[in-house]
Chain A
Amino acid sequence: MEHEITEQDGALIVGFSGDVDLQSSPDARKILLECVARKMPVLVDLSKVNYIDSSGIASLVESLQTARKAGGSLLLVSVSEAALRVLELARLDKVFTICGTIDEGLASL
């Protein structure tokens, strides 16, 4: 799993690529929670995620909860088909705000 963090229009964009699985999800969790702690809106770009498992989903949920508790926001943008399937299986596709592109995500903030 690789990741990249950029800042745009006062928001943090975290892009993951590759597989977010049992091996890499502890790193993904750490990265997400650090971004949330910066008190800026967080857009998680999942367009390059080939695979995400239940532990990766758990990291996303934990980050969303942490952000909401602090009054912040966390959205998912450009969710790949593989990631969307797992979100659907977990019935979380309605829990997260999911936007088609980064621009749509920024506009919705």
Chain B
Amino acid sequence: MEKTTVQSSAIGTYEERISGHLELLSTMGQDFATSLDIDETLRQGLARITDYVGAEGGALFLLDEKGEKLTCTACVGETEITGLTLNSDEGIVGRCVQLDVGEIVRDVSTDPNFQNSVDAQTGYTTRSILCAPMSVKEERIGAIELVNKRTGDGLFDEHDLHLLRSLSSSAALATKNARMAEALVEQERVRRELELAAEIQRGLLPDAGDDSFPIHGVNCPARTVSGDFYDFFPLDDGRICFNLGDVSGKGMNAALLMAKTASLFRCLGKTIHQPGRLLSMINDEICETVTRGMFVTMAGGIYDPKTGIVRLANAGHEPPLFYAGDGSFKAIPAEAPPLGISPLLTGDDGIPEIEFNLDGGTLYIFTDGVTEGYLEDGSELESEGLMKILVDKAADPVMARLQTVIDCIHRKNVALRDDLTLLAIDDGLNKAERPEQTDDRETMATENIFHVNFPSQPDRLKLVRSAVFDTAKMCGCSETVARDIVIAVDEACQNVIRHAYKGSPDGKIILDISRDGDSIVLSLRDFADPVDVDRVKPRELDDIRPGGLGTHFIREIMDEVDFLTPPEDDGNILRMVKRIE
């Protein structure tokens, strides 16, 4: 760096002095503008002005971020005080910073703010001080202090202060610019890291299938990373496991918990095919490690493309909507609290499951970012708005339907309020490929084989078993299959006796057995209060309570199990079908 040629201000005419000032300012201005090292440039500027004003020493103090401490970051002259820290209201420097006014203290010994401890430590005698604040608009940055004028009458004058103020103003601006540039670099670094995180996060979402695939999802983060997620993957038996979740919050912490929850679901979901138990296990895992106050709402389930049946568990999530295709929706509310709140809340049975047949309809799962998303007129979409779009666009391919919803909320140049995530399980195409069971039932000739009417008493079951065994064999079932059918009918009768009639011996049960093509159809009718079909679910195998295990046997043995509504809407009909090999 070129050595300054500026001479002391005390010498020469007024014109020469002005020209000298301008030259100094211009030199320092250039230094500040071209410098890559702000600390070094400030030190040089301080040296130049100390020399130019003719002071014995100079020091530059910067205020810390909290505005509590002033630290000397540059120093010229005999006494080295770099690193010296004062309270921000301490000493003449402190006063100068607090009041944002430059000052000349001709004789420090008469000033109560003078800190003579430094002199005591260094042996230096401070007589006179010139101090100018460094500030940009209202923002205080620090101050430059010069001590003991070497030339002239030994006293600092107004010209000196004026000159120092010019330096301190440009030093303040340069410091602020440098800090802003540093902040920008840091911001840019954080932004790049967030983008990397977002890329990894997008990688956690499943690849979109073609239009013929029944499950489609879409996720639009409100920020770079998202607290929402969805996933779907096929199981070995042809069924498809799916989920959608929403982590509380939207920032990086939410994104990390999202990554953990999504990974747990994918990993455990491949071996645990009971959504309620799966969610319950994820809950236990999250509870063990999650940061206090964070939680995840999740709806997860399994869809069987062969039958259209969905088994769903909902932990605190916005109720998914099932659209049957007739313009009406059915909301499926959460049966358990969100995951991550308490391992006790999901109970021993896991989270309750709901099983129902999509039968050509579509199940929509979405986050509250969708229903609470702002429309163009400033109102929220809400469930009603969502349902309207889905009905209006029902004829569109599933992905187009989801995109229409997203486009309503995620408009150009409008910041999203929350992450938007939607998942649709559309049974339409699979239903078209399934044989029309309903029509078969009505049109195909069925042969009635056996009909029996008996009271809801356990001691009649032996008779029923023997009749069912013989009837099944008569229909062409092998002994093994006939025995299995006996087990299924026996368990179904038990359920009626124990749960529908609640053990009362006066209930009436009717069993009809017919042959329908290559199937044997068994209908069990009771006249008890209708059961809530959604709540009849097979329990976990390790839960051996009667009823649950029996229901599991029935579903294992039979090819089809359906609850039908009796014509008079009185009681229940359980229809079980077994194909004869």
- Cβ of A22 and Cβ of B497 under 8 Å apart? yes
**Closest CB in chain B relative to A10 CB, distance in Å:** 29
Q: How large is the interface on A (under 10, 10 to 19, 20 to 34, 35 or more residues)?
A: 10 to 19
**Closest CB in chain A relative to B566 CB, distance in Å:** 24
In the assembled complex, the Cα of A20 lies from the Cα of B506 at a distance in Å of: 23
Q: Which residues of B contact A90 (CB under 8 A)?
A: 541, 544, 549, 552-553
Partner of A89, one of B487, B544, B546: B487
- Cβ of A53 and Cβ of B462 under 8 Å apart? no
Partner of A54, one of B459, B483, B484, B553: B553
In the assembled complex, the Cα of A85 lies from the Cα of B478 at a distance in Å of: 15
Interface positions, chain B 539-571, Cβ under 8 Å from A, are 541, 544-547, 549-550, 552-553, 556-557
A37 within 8 A of B: no
In the assembled complex, the Cα of A55 lies from the Cα of B499 at a distance in Å of: 14
A91 within 8 A of B: yes
Q: Which residues of A contact B545 (CB under 8 A)?
A: 58
Q: Can you add 16 more A-B contacts, CB < 8 Å, to A23-B459, A55-B494?
A: A22-B458, A22-B490, A22-B498, A23-B462, A53-B490, A54-B491, A54-B547, A54-B549, A58-B545, A85-B480, A85-B484, A86-B487, A89-B552, A89-B556, A90-B541, A92-B541
- Cβ of B458 and Cβ of A57 under 8 Å apart? no
The interface of chain A, by Cβ under 8 A from chain B, is: 19, 21-23, 51, 53-55, 57-58, 61-62, 82, 85-86, 89-92
- Cβ of A58 and Cβ of B462 under 8 Å apart? no
Partner of B490, one of A21, A58, A61, A89: A21
**In the complex where A89-B553, A90-B552, A91-B541 touch, is A21 in contact with B461 (Cβ < 8 A)?**
yes
In the assembled complex, the Cα of A3 lies from the Cα of B556 at a distance in Å of: 30
B239 within 8 A of A: no
- Cβ of A53 and Cβ of B459 under 8 Å apart? no
In the assembled complex, the Cα of A54 lies from the Cα of B458 at a distance in Å of: 14
Closest B-chain residue to A26, C-beta based? Answer: B458
Interface positions, chain B 136-151, Cβ under 8 Å from A, are none
B465 within 8 A of A: yes
Closest A-chain residue to B465, C-beta based? Answer: A51
In the assembled complex, the Cα of A89 lies from the Cα of B483 at a distance in Å of: 12
Partner of A62, one of B465, B484, B544, B553: B544
Q: Which residues of A contact B556 (CB under 8 A)?
A: 89
**In the complex where A23-B462, A86-B487, A89-B557 touch, is A61 in contact with B544 (Cβ < 8 A)?**
yes
Q: Which residues of A contact B458 (CB under 8 A)?
A: 21-23
**Closest CB in chain A relative to B334 CB, distance in Å:** 29
Interface positions, chain B 470-505, Cβ under 8 Å from A, are 480, 483-484, 486-487, 490-491, 494, 497-498
Closest B-chain residue to A56, C-beta based? Answer: B546
Q: Which residues of B contact A22 (CB under 8 A)?
A: 458, 461, 490, 494, 497-498
- Cβ of B553 and Cβ of A86 under 8 Å apart? yes
In the assembled complex, the Cα of A91 lies from the Cα of B274 at a distance in Å of: 15
Q: Which residues of B contact A23 (CB under 8 A)?
A: 458-459, 461-462
Closest B-chain residue to A55, C-beta based? Answer: B546
Q: Count of A-B contacts with CB under 8 A?
A: 61
Q: Which residues of A contact B459 (CB under 8 A)?
A: 23
Q: Which residues of A contact B484 (CB under 8 A)?
A: 85
**Closest CB in chain B relative to A89 CB, distance in Å:** 5
- Cβ of B552 and Cβ of A85 under 8 Å apart? no
- Cβ of A85 and Cβ of B483 under 8 Å apart? yes
- Cβ of A82 and Cβ of B494 under 8 Å apart? no
**Closest CB in chain B relative to A63 CB, distance in Å:** 11
In the assembled complex, the Cα of A91 lies from the Cα of B459 at a distance in Å of: 27
Q: List 11 A-B contacts (CB under 8 A).
A: A21-B465, A22-B458, A22-B461, A22-B490, A51-B486, A54-B546, A54-B553, A62-B544, A89-B556, A90-B541, A92-B541
Partner of B550, one of A19, A54, A82, A91: A54
In the assembled complex, the Cα of A86 lies from the Cα of B552 at a distance in Å of: 11
**Closest CB in chain B relative to A69 CB, distance in Å:** 15
Closest A-chain residue to B495, C-beta based? Answer: A54
Closest A-chain residue to B490, C-beta based? Answer: A53
In the assembled complex, the Cα of A62 lies from the Cα of B546 at a distance in Å of: 12
In the assembled complex, the Cα of A40 lies from the Cα of B122 at a distance in Å of: 93
- Which 9 pairs of residues, A with B, have the shortest CB-CB distance? A23-B458, A54-B549, A22-B458, A54-B550, A61-B544, A55-B546, A58-B544, A23-B459, A22-B494
**Closest CB in chain B relative to A90 CB, distance in Å:** 6
**Closest CB in chain B relative to A44 CB, distance in Å:** 16
Q: Which residues of B contact A51 (CB under 8 A)?
A: 465, 486, 490
Q: Which residues of B contact A82 (CB under 8 A)?
A: 483
Closest B-chain residue to A51, C-beta based? Answer: B465
Q: Which residues of A contact B498 (CB under 8 A)?
A: 22
**Closest CB in chain B relative to A12 CB, distance in Å:** 22
Q: Which residues of B contact A19 (CB under 8 A)?
A: 462, 465
Q: Which residues of A contact B552 (CB under 8 A)?
A: 89-90
Partner of A53, one of B480, B491, B544: B491
In the assembled complex, the Cα of A22 lies from the Cα of B493 at a distance in Å of: 10
In the assembled complex, the Cα of A62 lies from the Cα of B549 at a distance in Å of: 14
- Cβ of A21 and Cβ of B553 under 8 Å apart? no
Q: Which residues of A contact B550 (CB under 8 A)?
A: 53-54
Closest A-chain residue to B541, C-beta based? Answer: A91
Q: Which residues of A contact B557 (CB under 8 A)?
A: 89
**Closest CB in chain A relative to B297 CB, distance in Å:** 32
Closest A-chain residue to B462, C-beta based? Answer: A19
Q: Which residues of B contact A21 (CB under 8 A)?
A: 458, 461-462, 465, 490
**Closest CB in chain B relative to A93 CB, distance in Å:** 12
